[in-house]
Amino acid sequence: MQKPVCPDCAGNQLKIIGLLPDSNEFSGNTLDYYLKGGNLYLCTDCNLRFRFPVLSDKEYNDLYNTENKNWIFDENRNDWKILRSFVEKNIPGNGKILDFGCNFGDVLEKLPDRIQKSGIEINTQAAEIARERIHTEIWNNFDSVPVDSQFDMIFAIDVIEHLPSPGDFVLQALPFVKKNGFIALMTGDSNSLIARLSGSKWYYSAYPEHIAFISKTWAEKLCEKTGALEMFYFRNYKGTNRPLLKRLKWFFVWAVNYLFGKKSSLVFGLSPEFARSGMGNMKNFGKNFSSDHLFVVFRKL
């Protein structure tokens, strides 16, 4: 039997956080079989949380390339607004940026027109839509990007959690970033209060396509390890803007699950509204009411 090791630092000082749920959904698509959830681990050396075991690269690529086109960009999301503000303040007039995992090009479209925009997208259908929409170069992976390309900023929004080794991604992006340029990541914060209290039940780790989870501590350790980066900026934020009453409702869902565990379904069953909404589903455990996302920006030295 294969033993788990940290996919980032290859360390074996691991702590099991808990069992992850099996799922017949992947990136918005319903499957005719269930994917095993495996376990959620914490590497005490580099502070990466990760799923193990995981699928092969080919299996993941096949699953992503069957993704449907029905994904709708949520204007209530805060990530693109935070990113746009950073770009406006820190990227020069005609600076060059690369969106890794650009999907249909929604975020690129939101950024200032003065910026030279390009992207990387593994899904061939989504990449074609982004090309037609943004009228720019969209590559399939870093290997497709011309080796002499230099960007003022490479960013990844809600992508790093899909990759087995976030650290490898940063190192792979580094040669394509100008000196004093930026690599920015936006994802769930595995060290947020709700994530720590929720353990393996945290909604962000319930999605089978989410396999690695970072934190500010992870980012600090990566800077120490590489010697080629410094943490330029860090902040936490709420994933979406929701009315206060809705946030309170989601907090109630989290509190019931936290207090009653497996018996929480009995509590939700008392209310037809909650039963219909699916809010008791583990994919909603801790969702939509706290600042459990992070925005970290590395500067290349």
58 exposed, middle or buried (CB, 10 Å; 0-12, 13-18, 19+)?
A: exposed
Q: How far is CA 285 from CA 98, 124, 191, 198, 255, in A?
A: 33, 32, 16, 8, 9
Q: Are strands 177-188 and 14-19 parallel, antiparallel or unpaired?
A: unpaired
In this structure, what token pair is assigned to residue 254?
A: 């989290």
| Portion of the chain with pLDDT greater than 70, in percent | 90
In angstroms, the CA 192 to CA 69 distance is 32
Dihedral of CA 146/219/167/200: which sign?
Answer: negative
Q: How far is CA 210 from CA 146, 213, 301, in A?
A: 29, 8, 30
53-104 per-position pLDDT tens digit: 999 989 998 888 765 555 566 777 889 999 999 999 999 999 999 999 999 9
Q: Are strands 138-139 and 116-120 parallel, antiparallel or unpaired?
A: parallel
- The CA-CA-CA angle for residues 227, 230, 235, to 5°, reads 145
In this structure, what token pair is assigned to residue 203?
A: 């909604």
Lowest mean pLDDT across 19-28, 144-153, 216-225? 19-28
6-62 per-position pLDDT tens digit: 999 999 999 999 999 999 989 888 899 999 999 999 999 999 999 999 999 899 988
* Residue 149 near residue 176, CB atoms below 8 Å: yes
In angstroms, the CA 102 to CA 285 distance is 27
In angstroms, the CA 81 to CA 71 distance is 19
Per-residue pLDDT at 283 exceeds 60: no
160-189 per-position pLDDT tens digit: 999 999 999 999 999 999 999 999 999 999
In the prediction, which pLDDT does 8 show?
Answer: 95
Per-residue pLDDT at 278 exceeds 70: no
Enter the CATH code of domain 79-240+290-300: 3.40.50.150
Which of 241, 237, 247 has its CA nearest to residue 292?
237
- Give pTM, 2 decimals: 0.90
Q: How far is CA 172 from CA 177, 178, 260, in A?
A: 10, 13, 44
Averaged over 149-158, what is the pLDDT? 97
In the prediction, which pLDDT does 276 show?
Answer: 55
For residue 240, the 8-state DSSP code is B
Per-residue pLDDT at 193 exceeds 80: yes
Reduced to 3 states, what is the DSSP secondary structure of residue 274?
helix
Which of 76, 137, 148 has its CA nearest to residue 108?
137
In the prediction, which pLDDT does 88 show?
Answer: 96
**Domain positions in the chain:** 79-240+290-300, 244-284
Q: How far is CA 143 from CA 120, 136, 149, 154, 185, in A?
A: 10, 18, 12, 15, 20
Averaged over 132-155, what is the pLDDT? 96
Which amino acid would we find at residue 8?
A: D
In the prediction, which pLDDT does 203 show?
Answer: 87
